[in-house]
Amino acid sequence: MRNFTPFVEGNMAYDVVHILNRFFSALGEAILMNNGLIYQYVGDEIVPKNVALGFRELGRRHTNYGVSEGHYLLVRKVLVDTLKARLKESYSDRIRLAWERMFDLAFKYMKEGATGKKQARTAPKPTVVV
Ligand code: HEM
């Protein structure tokens, strides 16, 4: 929320909490309407988790495609090798790390979806108390 700190400093706690709850409700609704999930509330910030949801579903579908853990590890290596070969002198460790991190994040959630460990959750209630 823009200018949240001066807003808190210049208003009564009761009013800040009231505005925060309205803000979280409106934003939370928009996230849920777009197939998102709310992971947590941090101060004036909402942390959505729609990425996890999408990748879990993708992971479930990949099980049906016959994909197993070993395939992911192989594709991870092939991805890096391909980047290296195609980017040539533009390739760097920074680029490799960024892609590996992205792949590992996708893989983490896809594995959860494939094993059925994590089910979709409902959003936590956006109520702030003082
Ligand atoms: C981070 C890892 C991966 C991502 C993000 C990814 C993404 C996708 C996407 C978006 C599709 C389109 C179909 C759908 O949405 O269900 C797809 C299809 C598919 N993927 Fe992956 N994939 C990944 C890893 C793998 C691995 C490791 C394999 C096996 C070697 C694989 C094999 C397949 C197959 C067989 C299809 C179906 C193709 C078809 O029937 O047209 N994927 N993947």
Please report the pLDDT score of residue 35 as a whole number. Answer: 59
Pocket test for ligand 1, best of 56, 58, 63 (most atoms within 8 A of CB): 58
CB of residue 95 inside a 6 A radius of ligand 1: no
In 3D, which of 38, 54, 107, 49 has the Cα closest to residue 77?
107
**Ligand 1, closest atom to CA 66?**
35
Q: Name the residue with higher pLDDT: 91 or 122.
A: 91
- The greatest distance separating any two alpha carbons of the chain, rounded to the nearest whole angstrom, comes to 60
CB of residue 51 inside a 6 A radius of ligand 1: no
Checking if the pLDDT of 87 tops 80, the result is: yes
Question: Residue 25 and residue 31: Cα distance in Å, rounded?
Answer: 10
Q: Name the residue with higher pLDDT: 127 or 2.
A: 2
Please report the pLDDT score of residue 63 as a whole number. Answer: 95
Work out the angle between the directed axes of helices 93-115 and 50-64 (0-180°, nearest 10).
Answer: 70
CA–centroid distance, residue 86 to ligand 1 (Å): 21
Checking if the pLDDT of 37 tops 70, the result is: no
CA–centroid distance, residue 4 to ligand 1 (Å): 42
Question: Residue 20 and residue 31: Cα distance in Å, rounded?
Answer: 16
**pLDDT band for position 125 (cuts 50, 70, 90):** low
The CATH label, of 2.70.170.10, 1.10.490.10, 3.30.70.890, 1.20.1200.10, for the domain at 52-115 is: 1.10.490.10
Question: Residue 58 and residue 27: Cα distance in Å, rounded?
Answer: 26
Pocket test for ligand 1, best of 62, 72, 80 (most atoms within 8 A of CB): 62
Share of the chain above pLDDT 70, in %: 79
CA–centroid distance, residue 118 to ligand 1 (Å): 20
Q: Domain map of the chain by residue range?
A: 4-48, 52-115
CA–centroid distance, residue 56 to ligand 1 (Å): 12
* Per-residue model confidence as pLDDT tens digits over 49-60: 667 888 899 999
Q: Name the residue with higher pLDDT: 78 or 21.
A: 78
Please report the pLDDT score of residue 124 as a whole number. Answer: 55
Burial of 3 (0-12, 13-18, 19+ CB in 10 A): exposed
